[in-house]
Amino acid sequence: MLTENRDRLFGDETSISSSMVVVSAAIVAFAGSAPLLGPTLCAAFAGFYWPHFRDRCFSKAVVNAAIIGSSGLAGAIVFGALTSGTHRSLADSVVVLIPVVAVYWFVNTLLLAAALTLLRGAHFPQTVRLLLVSETPLLVFAVFGGLCGYSFLEHGHVIGVAALLLCILLADLFMVRPRPIVHAASRTVFVATHAFLPVLSVAIGVFAAQWDQWLAVAWLVVGVPLLTYLLALVRVRARISRWDRHLAIGVAVLEVPLVLSFGLAGAIAHWVGVEVGLFTAGGLAALLTLCARYFRRRELRARADDRRVAVAAERAVLEGRSLPTPV
């Protein structure tokens, strides 16, 4: 319920919240005890939106809970069909969670679009497209939410709850900055390209640590900067010119600490333990994201100050007054 009410509204009345992360975790966590009822009830409770109760729109609350509950049930059915109650490795779990999240996403979108079409007379294909685009950036976090559900089963409730809260925090940090719906595709590309490097670094760090510790060190010292630089060349669409190469080097220098820290977290996951590696990676992601938001806000405040000074100067010129001399 808290994740559903901490949402972000777009101008076309669509919204995005991290409730998908919680439902994905519930689908996995309840697989051994209440494989259908647990995810359905959890998703239905996630559909209780506070403004509906505040405005006494109880019918909207019921419809929203029914839609999300049905979507959670569909995802749970797919998960049960794919797993059949067997324990799987981490790689197999990720492969299974992708279609589960996709089914939940599509069912929720189709049902919500149908409800909007019937109640408001909206255009069904256009509504489906807008809803799909608005929730696309959450799919990566929903898969990680499912992995948090595995933490419930394998490592206990404390580790599972901590991992889920950390995943919700990261999803909230990435979604909290408002942008128009037309930029959702670019947001998705941004998250995908920047999430690819840390995930790949964690995976290779784990496999390198399993093979040989010096191979893991070599990967962290040589492989991470080289891979980051090569992908930076692709990201900035660099050519042969010296300027493009220097630009790619600058991008790589900014991203190497992020990727290096996640590669180290992958090695720690093997050397110390999965839980320690998970918390290391999550803590680093939260810290780096908060730092990026801080510098971004400081830049926006500086731009706003410059804009106010420019407006004051223009107004003074129009009114024929002299500008104050800076001290």
- Return d(Cα 219, Cα 233) in angstroms, integer: 20
Residue with more model confidence, 270 or 96: 96
pLDDT attached to residue 17: 64
Residue 86 reports pLDDT greater than 70: no
Per-residue model confidence as pLDDT tens digits over 272-303: 666 566 666 666 666 665 665 666 677 677 77
Sorted by where each begins, the domain ranges of the chain are: 1-178, 180-320
Burial class (CB in 10 A: 0-12, 13-18, 19+), 28: buried
Contact 14, 115 (CB under 8 A): no
What is the value of pTM for the model shown? 0.54
In angstroms, the Cα distances linking 301 to 140, 175, 180, 288, 312 are 31, 20, 20, 20, 16
